[in-house]
């Protein structure tokens, strides 16, 4: 029996008059119908997230939470336009996408219970108030590829290599790690490579080292030309830290003095 007939049969059985209190339960939904809708659902989810996969298991009641330094909102649209243009001169081996949320991570993305959001965010807000605003900067030659833990996504990002900045970011991460540890949450990487991701693609870009080097060279050439024309893309003031948890977003201001 095809799916349509199965669905009609189920509907017919479920719409019969129920005159007895101890009426037999409705027929279970046929497996063929369940599979039909599961495949459709999976297709919708896959399209919505562009093939990306969750980096940690979903737990009901937990909120995906992340702490980071945002790229200035007023400059983000222009940056995204340049990132999109940069794809045109790159070997067509991967489907690249511009990052919409451009930032430098100070934590992993972790799932936290709702009741932890307030005490954790309050603790971090007090901590970051002790840091002063500072200038972030990088160059086109600092472009590198990064791959996530499960090798399902690759990123193009500007690595932060200036020692004073690396030291400052490491101090920030130490405070975030200490706060995370209080709630038995995952700490950041032991020896993090701080970077500002601007683009991503599915898969492990390093599976083919020769192609990877060629693609990276193309990106560096494009951004070197941009740096010569408009160096403002490569530096910005950091006035606050962003804490995102599910649909909530909070900013923690840094001190001005």
Catalytic residues: 103, 195
Token readout for 93 is 């081996």
Query: Torsion over CA of 127, 129, 133 and 136, rounded to 10 degrees?
Result: 20
160 within 8 A of 136, measured Cβ to Cβ: yes
d(CA 106, CA 68): 5
User: Helices marked H in the chain — which ranges?
Assistant: 3-14, 31-48, 73-86, 114-128, 163-182, 209-229
Instruction: Centre a 10 Å sphere on the Cβ of residue 118 and count the other Cβ atoms it contains.
Output: 11
């Amino acid at each position: 029996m095809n799916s349509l007939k199965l669905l009609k049969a189920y509907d017919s059985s479920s719409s019969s008059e129920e005159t007895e209190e101890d009426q037999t339960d409705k027929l279970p939904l046929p497996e063929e119908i369940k599979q039909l809708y599961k495949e459709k659902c999976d297709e919708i989810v896959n399209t919505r997230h562009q093939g990306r996969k969750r980096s940690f298991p979903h737990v009901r009641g937990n909120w995906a939470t992340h702490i980071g330094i945002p790229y200035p909102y007023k400059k983000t649209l222009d940056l995204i336009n340049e990132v999109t243009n940069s794809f045109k001169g790159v070997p067509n081996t991967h489907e690249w996408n511009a990052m919409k949320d451009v930032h430098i991570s100070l934590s992993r993305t972790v799932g936290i219970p709702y009741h932890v959001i307030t005490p954790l965010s309050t603790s971090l807000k007090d901590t970051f108030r002790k840091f002063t605003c500072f200038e972030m900067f990088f160059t086109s030659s600092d472009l590198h590829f990064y791959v996530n833990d499960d090798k399902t996504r690759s990123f193009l990002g500007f690595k932060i290599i200036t020692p004073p900045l690396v030291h400052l970011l490491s101090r920030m991460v130490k405070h975030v790690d200490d706060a995370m540890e209080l709630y038995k949450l995952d700490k950041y990487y032991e020896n993090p490579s701080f970077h500002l991701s601007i683009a991503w693609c599915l898969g492990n870009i390093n599976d083919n080292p020769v192609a990877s080097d060629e693609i990276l060279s193309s990106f560096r050439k494009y951004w070197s030309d941009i740096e010569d024309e408009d160096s403002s893309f490569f530096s910005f003031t950091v006035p606050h830290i962003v804490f995102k948890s599910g649909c909530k977003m909070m900013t923690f201001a840094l001190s001005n003095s």
